[in-house]
Chain A
C-alpha cells in the first residue's frame, strides 16, 4: 500500500509516521509537502502531528488552507482513507472533515505520557483489527487536546458510532482520572459519518515497536491496511 504523509511547516511527527509505515510495517510511504497539489497514487493519507505554522491563530487553522488540503478534501470526498494524528486531528477538525474542535487542555498542562484507549467500535477502517476488549496503550504529547463539540454534535457522534476511542484507565473504565486533557466524554478520537476520515490525539506511530514501550499502535495502521486490502477504496487521482 502507498501512504502519503503530509508535511506542513513545523509538522514534526511526519518522520515517525513514515518510519512506522515503511520500516516497521513494510509499506510504501512518501512525504507530501504542503504546497503539492496532488497526492499521486496514495491509497491513504496521514496528517501527522507537530505544531504546524507554530500553532498560530489556532492549532491547524492555517494548515487547513494549505494547497495540499484541497487534494485531501477531494480524496476524502471520493471515499479515500485519511487519518489525522494529534495536530493532524486538529487540522481535520479545522478543515471541517471532522466535527468538533480541540482546545487547550483543561489542566493547562502539556501532557506527555502513555494513556490507555478503549476502542468503542471495530466497525471502521481504523479499528477493525483491534481485538474485542483490548485496550491500546499509546503515548500522548499535547497541550491542546481537549475535544469539544456542542451537545447536539456529541449526541450525533454517539448515535452514529463515530466515537472510535475514549481515554480509560488500565481496567478499561472511562473515568475523569483517566482523562488527560478534559475532553468531553473522554473522547480521544472520532471518525466522520462516512467513516473514511478519522482523527485521534494519541500517537499510534510512536507505539509500533515494543522497544518504545508499546506496539499497540500497530493495530490502528493494520486496520487501515486491512480495510484497503479487503475492499475497493479509491486511490488518489
Chain B
C-alpha cells in the first residue's frame, strides 16, 4: 500500500514562497497565473492490506505530526 499526502498552506496564511514562484513564472513569460501555493508531498509505503485501519492511523499521524493544523491543510490518498 502506498499513501500519498499533499500538505498545503491554509488559505488564511500568507504564502510568500508561492508569491515568489508566481513572480518568477510571470517574469519568465507565463501569463494568466492567478496564484501559486507551494506545499509538500509525502509518499509513505505501508505493509499490510487493511486500508481502513491504515487510513485512520495516517489521518491521525497527519493531524498530530505530518501537518500542522494551525497553518496547513492535508489531503490523504491510499492506494
* Chain A residues in the interface with B (C-beta under 8 A): 57-58, 61, 65, 93-94, 100-101, 103-108, 146, 148-150, 182
Whether A101 contacts B65 by the Cβ 8 Å rule is no
Q: Which residue from B12, B16, B65, B68 sits with its C-beta under 8 Å from A104?
A: B16
Determine the main DSSP class of A at the interface with B.
loop
Binding site for A on B (CB under 8 A): 9, 12-14, 16-17, 20, 65-66, 68, 70-71
Q: Are B65 and A148 in contact (CB under 8 A)?
A: no
Q: Can you give 20 A-B contacts (C-beta < 8 A)?
A: A57-B66, A58-B68, A61-B65, A61-B68, A65-B65, A93-B70, A101-B68, A103-B13, A103-B14, A103-B71, A104-B17, A105-B16, A106-B14, A106-B16, A107-B16, A146-B14, A148-B13, A148-B70, A148-B71, A150-B70
Q: Which 7 A-B pairs have the closest CB atoms?
A: A101-B70, A101-B71, A108-B16, A106-B16, A101-B68, A58-B68, A148-B13
A56 vs chain B, min Cβ distance (A): 11
Whether B68 and A182, one on each chain, are in contact in the complex, defined by CB atoms closer than 8 angstroms, is no
Whether B70 lies near A100 (C-beta < 8 A) is yes
Given the complex of chains A and B, what is the CA–CA distance between A99 and B12 in angstroms?
16
Residues of B within 8 A of A146 (CB): 14
The chain A residue sitting closest to B70, CB to CB, is: A101
Residues of A within 8 A of B12 (CB): 150
B20 in contact with A108 (CB, 8 Å): yes
